[in-house]
Each structure stands twice: as C-alpha cells, then as structure tokens.
Amino acid sequence: MPTELQINGRGYRRPDRHAVVICLDGCEPAYLDAALAAGVMPALAGMLAAGGSRHLARSAMPSFTNPNNLSIACGVPSAVHGICGNFFLNPDTGQAVMMNGVEFLRAPTVFAAFQQAGARVAVVTAKDKLRALMGAGLDCSRGGAVCFSAERADQATRAVNGIGDAALWLGQPVPPVYSGDLSLFVLQAGVKLLAEHRPDILYLSTSDYIQHKHAPGADEANAFMAGVDAALAGLLAQDIRLVLTADHGMKPKHRADGSPNVIYLAPVLEAALGAGQARVILPITDPYVAHHGALGSFATVYLAPGADAAAAAATLAAIPGIDTVLSRAEACARFDLPPDRIGDLVVTCSADWALGTREEEHDLSGLDAPLRSHGGLDEQVVPFLASFPIAPPQDGLRNFDAWQVATSAGD
C-alpha cells in the first residue's frame, strides 16, 4: 500500500506495526480508574508505566454506540458518515426508519480504504448489527480481510466473514448476547487473529452489557475489566500499536428506590402544542433494549408544519434535568450531525436523567438492575489510551481520532 492514505479528508500512514484499536463500549473513564486502582489491570498498568499514554477524549454526539463506532471507523463525525442513531424519521413518509443498514452510510470506512490500498484488515464486533456496518465496503472473500461478530461467530463463513466457524476456531462457545463474556470473546478473538491472521489494522468493538448494569469499581465491573486486561496482555505481547477508547460513557439514571429517572417528552409536548404536533424519536431504540429499555439521554423531536418550535423549545428547556434544547441548525453545528436525519429540535438531559416518549411505550420488564445509560453530554467524555506517546490535536482529542493516532504514530 502507499505510505499515505487520504480517507474522508484525513491522512493515514501505513502502520509499521500492527495497529489495533479497541472500542470498549460504555467505558466511562471511572471503570478504568477504579480497575487500575484495584490492581486488576496489570497489563494496562504496565503499558502505561512503559511509556503509554492516558488521555480523555470527547465522543461523537449523540453518545450512542452506532454513531460512535461509525465515527471511529470513518475518522469523522456523523455529519459526514450519516449514522447518528438507530432511527430517524423519513420526513416524506412520516415513518421511523432504522439506519442500521449499510445503505445509510455515506462515507468509506478506514477498513475498506486500507483494504483497497493492500492492507490486511480484521474487525470483530460483539453484536452482529454492528458487524454489518463495520464491514461496509470490505471484501472478506479474498483472504485479506476478516470481519465477524461474537454474537454469530459460529455462523461465520469464509465467503462472507473471511473465516469459517469462529467459535470453533477460537475453541469457545458463542456467549449469550446479554453477557460480559460476549465482549471478552471479541477481545480473545482479537488476540488469536493477531497471531494467526497478522492484520495491519485490527478493530475490536465490545458491548456495554456490564456497564449498563454495574457501576465503576463494583465487583462485577472489576471482574470484567480483569478479563479485558487478560486480553490486553495477549495483544500487547505481539508488538502492536494499541489505542483503547470508548464509544460513550455511562451514568446511573435512577431514583433512590431504583426506579428509572425518566422525563417523558410526548405528554409534555402534547400539553404545550396540542395533540399530534410533535413526534419524539429516541435514537437509542434498537432490537436489543432489555438492558436500557430504550431510555437514553438524547432525543430528537419532529414538529408538524406550523407547530410553534420556539414554544416547544422553551417548554422543554424549563424541565429540570433537561440540559440542552437546540434547533436542528444549532444542533448540527454544535454536534456535527446530518441535518436530514435530525428532527426540528434536539434535546439532551443531564447525567442522572433519561428521556422517554410516553411511559406506556417503554418496556422496562427487562431492566433487572437500576437504569444506567448514556446518550447525552454527560456521557461524552471517554478514555483515550495508547501504548505509545501521543500528541493530542490542539482542538482536543475525539474518540474518532483513534485510527489516525494508531496508524500515524512513528517511532
């Protein structure tokens, strides 16, 4: 491959060592702080002691999984790649449309561009929904690329995923989709892929099942981080450049009695504007809602033609817990969002709150622990660690700088 690659307007170098980026889903910085303090991450501590670096970065907004995995994969925010949640409203049809398909992606990924330039690429995700997006433009049928999910590792085929049954290959059964083991499977697969497939670039993206249920420093959280560390040891032993970041943080969003602390937006808007004047879209909504009940801290509101946007905004802004109400133009400018996939208003709430549509529209029966979730500004700060010294850009690190940092560093 050429020494320099331009991808979505950014320059990437051919890595002279295997470049590995881990997106640790929902890794609020405190999970690492607590686990390091408890001594359960010796490999990470060793990496930091041996010249590694440890910074904070801001995620893309909304602080959800898909927008951020795509931002990391493309090196640019949602305004460029188009994926700003799991759903948007098609203004022509009035239908809420899922944007989990590759047809909604507007930019090439670093993975596809590196493959086209002759590099070997490997991508492992926890859930399969993300695997499809991460694999956009990647041809896994020719031997140079591997892309599969832990969730469907046993269904992987050489033609589609660049590898046969990956559960058999790893010697581990496919873990339950709602488990921390799903993430550890991803990382352990990364260790083995690195050894056997020798990718120039390797992306490992986990799930935030543990973080949705357990606070930083909790025994379960530290046990999970210890599992992460064991995989890090296996990766770091292989002469790599590692960048470890997260798609978003994670905050408790429940009351003292354990019930979710939710602001339901639809009744408020109906009282302010009348019935049928506003439609609330929660872009966190997806087929895997058991651990958060589709409750996050970011919402977008589509208004009927002629509805009083200023009145709606003022009503929302006056609600305790709501910290930002912006017009589409303001939100797109501030958060780098694609205007055609955002409603007339964008609403975020602060750390301990979540946003809902109507109480009866949220199935909270799967919530077996007090709600922890993300999506807002208070979950935008994420860790950004590297196995080597880095010089953060002067406008501040973003998690989607990960591939540029991982591939551009020289030594």
Report if residue 203 touches a copy of itself, rule: CB under 8 A: no
Smaller CB distance to a copy of itself: residue 157 or 350?
A: 350
Q: How near is the Cβ of 297 to a copy of itself at its closest, in Å?
A: 11
Smaller CB distance to a copy of itself: residue 93 or 394?
A: 394
Report if residue 396 touches a copy of itself, rule: CB under 8 A: yes
Smaller CB distance to a copy of itself: residue 115 or 408?
A: 408
Task: Please select the residue that binds a copy of itself; options are 57, 170, 242, 347, rule is CB under 8 A.
Answer: 57
**How many C-beta neighbours within 10 Å does residue 399 have?**
26
Smaller CB distance to a copy of itself: residue 71 or 285?
A: 71
The span of 180-188, 238-246, 302-310, 320-328 binding a copy of itself (CB under 8 A) equals 320-328
The span of 67-75, 201-209, 293-301, 376-384 binding a copy of itself (CB under 8 A) equals 376-384
Please tell me the distance from the alpha carbon of residue 386 to that of residue 53, in angstroms, as a whole number: 5
Report if residue 55 touches a copy of itself, rule: CB under 8 A: yes
Report if residue 310 touches a copy of itself, rule: CB under 8 A: no
Smaller CB distance to a copy of itself: residue 175 or 296?
A: 296
Report if residue 321 touches a copy of itself, rule: CB under 8 A: yes
Nearest to 83 by CA among 110, 102, 58: 102
DSSP percent split of the chain into helix, strand, coil, nearest 5: 35, 20, 40
Q: What's the chain's length in residues? A: 411
Q: How near is the Cβ of 311 to a copy of itself at its closest, in Å?
A: 17
Is the bond preceding 176 in cis, omega lying within 30 degrees of 0?
no
**SS3 assignment for 152-213:** CHHHCCHHHHCCCCHHHHHCCCCCCCCCHHHHHHHHHHHHHHHHHHCCCEEEEECCCHHHHH
Neighbour order of strands in the sheet with 298-303: 278-281, 298-303, 345-349, 322-327
Per-residue x/- mask for a copy of itself, residues 9 to 48, rule CB under 8 A? ---------------------x--xx--x----------x
216 and 163 Cβ atoms separated by less than 8 Å: no
Site for a copy of itself in 230-259 (CB under 8 A): 251-252, 254-258
Task: Please select the residue that binds a copy of itself; options are 334, 359, 361, 366, rule is CB under 8 A.
Answer: 334
**Which residues are registered as beta bridge partners of 96?**
89
**SS3 assignment for 78-134:** HHHHCCCCCEEEECCCCEEEECCCHHHCCCCCHHHHHHHCCCCEEEEECCHHHHHHH
Q: How near is the Cβ of 129 to a copy of itself at its closest, in Å?
A: 29
The span of 113-121, 143-151, 163-171, 383-391 binding a copy of itself (CB under 8 A) equals 383-391
Query: Which residues neighbour 63 within 8 Å (Cβ) at sequence distance 6 or greater?
Result: 247, 248, 249, 297, 298, 374, 375, 376, 377, 379, 380
Report if residue 123 touches a copy of itself, rule: CB under 8 A: no
Tokens of 338: 């694609």
Q: Which residues bind to a copy of itself, rule: CB under 8 A? A: 30, 33-34, 37, 48, 51-58, 215-217, 251-252, 254-258, 261, 263, 319-321, 323-324, 330, 333-334, 350-353, 370, 377-378, 381, 389-392, 394-397
